[in-house]
Amino acid sequence: MAKTDEFDTAGSYVAMKDLLGELVLFTPTEYVEEVQTDFGTKDAVLTDLVVLSQGGTEYSDVMVFQGSLIGQLKRKIPTGRKLLGVVAKGEAKKGQNAPFILEAPTDEQQQTARNYLAGLTIEAAVAPEAEDPFAVKA
Residue-level pLDDT, tens digit, the chain, 138 residues: 444 556 555 667 888 899 999 999 999 999 888 888 777 888 889 999 999 998 889 998 899 988 889 989 999 988 889 999 999 998 888 888 888 999 999 999 999 999 999 885 555 555 556 676 676 766
124 is a domain residue: no
132 is a domain residue: no
7 is a domain residue: no
Look up the domain containing 109 and give its range: 16-117
68 is a domain residue: yes
136 is a domain residue: no
Number of structural domains in the chain = 1
57 is a domain residue: yes
Three-class HEC string of the chain: CCCCCCCCCCCCCCCHHHHCCCEEEEEEEEEEEEEEECCEEEEEEEEEEEEHHHCCEEEEEEEECCHHHHHHHHCCCCCCCCEEEEEEECCCCCCCCCCEEEECCCHHHHHHHHHHHCCCCCCCCCCCCCCCCCCCCC
Separation of alpha carbons 102 and 76, rounded Å: 14
